[in-house]
Amino acid sequence: MFLFILGVLLLVAGFVVGRNTYTNAPASRARLPLMIVGVALAVLGFFTSTVRQVDAGEVGVVKLFGRVQSEVLEPGLHLVNPLADVVFFDKRTQNYTMSATHDEGDKEGDDAIRVLTADGLEVVIDLTVLYRVIPEQTPTILQTIGPDYQDRIVRPVSRTRVRDNAVSYDAVALYSTRREEFQNRILRSIETDFKKRGLLLEQLLIRNIQLPESVKQTIESKINAEQESQKMQFVLTKEKQEADRKRVEAQGIADYQRIISAELTDKQLRYEQIKAQRELAESPNSKIIVLGDTKGAQLLIDGR
């Protein structure tokens, strides 16, 4: 639009110079170049003001003299009124992060959500919201909210719904056993609020839940006690298994001795003794062989 206005001004200047052709010769020579440049700039300015490009991943909404038109411009080239403004909206997935870490959130500094739980404790929650605009609703968004919908809708609605739902949970349950339930609950409530305002919630991520230091120490003590209890239970189970093994082994030995004592005779013992002496006598090593029983024992010495 600036080029169009500049071209018109140059054309006017050319016509003015043309009226003074006989009184100002140097100025009259500039008349034709001024008019040519003026026409070129006017045509170029009109063309650039009329043709608007919408990039991939965006949609455009036309606003003329403060009135928002209902037509949504898809990616590509479009002919619009040169006096109109085109407001562009990103229709791709966007994210908004609120974190206690200074360089992670969309706001500088500590931007985490501080909530009070059912047991009166303050819990700090880091949250990321994944969402996108509904293209068909962008004229309504521009008319009722404006292009800064992150600060007007995404941030306050998310923080409010997290606080509203956190009061139904104890701090420990929120941190451990009911964390997924809490996340699904706030997702449903935020999704409803977003849809009413032309936004589509895709996913809600609870990045971190920070408990008060006293509660963290209590949980750590409980975990340590449970681990010690499990360790002691393991030791007791192992000792019981070892006692059972020894009991079975002792029972087996007792049964063996009872069977041997009931069935072993003097003749069998004498036979085993003779067989052992024979094997010893056939051995190539030096040896002393005791023949007979202990009463009439005889020694046979082999010096090999």
In a domain, 204, yes or no: yes
Same domain? 233 vs 277: no
122, two tokens: 């303050």
In a domain, 62, yes or no: no
Same domain? 8 vs 31: yes
Same domain? 274 vs 256: no
In a domain, 68, yes or no: no
Same domain? 220 vs 254: yes
In a domain, 165, yes or no: yes
Same domain? 195 vs 218: no
Q: Quote the CA–CA distance of 83 and 64 in Å, as a whole number.
A: 7
Q: Quote the CA–CA distance of 82 and 42 in Å, as a whole number.
A: 12
Residue that terminates a domain, selected from 211, 241, 256: 211
In a domain, 70, yes or no: no
In the chain, % helix, strand, coil (3-state, to 5) comes to 55, 25, 25
Same domain? 189 vs 290: no
Same domain? 109 vs 204: yes
Same domain? 206 vs 247: no
Strand ranges (DSSP E) for 85-238?
85-90, 94-98, 113-116, 122-133, 199-210
Same domain? 207 vs 218: no
Residue 238's domain comprises 214-264
Number of domains in the chain: 4
List, in order, residues 6 or more apart from 31 with CB less than 8 Å away: 14, 17, 18, 21
Q: Quote the CA–CA distance of 104 and 228 in Å, as a whole number.
A: 38
Same domain? 159 vs 222: no
Q: Quote the CA–CA distance of 264 and 57 in Å, as a whole number.
A: 98
What is the reported pLDDT for 31?
Answer: 62
For each of the chain's 304 residues, which pLDDT tens digit applies?
Answer: 555 565 556 556 656 665 555 445 555 566 666 666 666 655 666 666 777 889 999 999 999 888 999 899 999 988 888 778 889 999 999 999 999 887 777 887 788 999 988 888 889 999 999 999 999 999 999 999 999 999 999 999 999 999 999 999 888 888 888 888 999 999 999 999 999 999 999 999 998 888 887 777 776 777 777 777 888 888 888 888 888 888 888 888 887 777 767 666 666 667 777 777 777 777 676 555 555 555 555 545 454 4
Q: Quote the CA–CA distance of 186 and 98 in Å, as a whole number.
A: 15
What is the reported pLDDT for 23?
Answer: 47
Same domain? 206 vs 222: no
What is the reported pLDDT for 9?
Answer: 61
Same domain? 231 vs 246: yes
In a domain, 69, yes or no: no
In a domain, 50, yes or no: yes
- Pick the closest to residue 199 from 125, 115, 96 (CA basis): 96
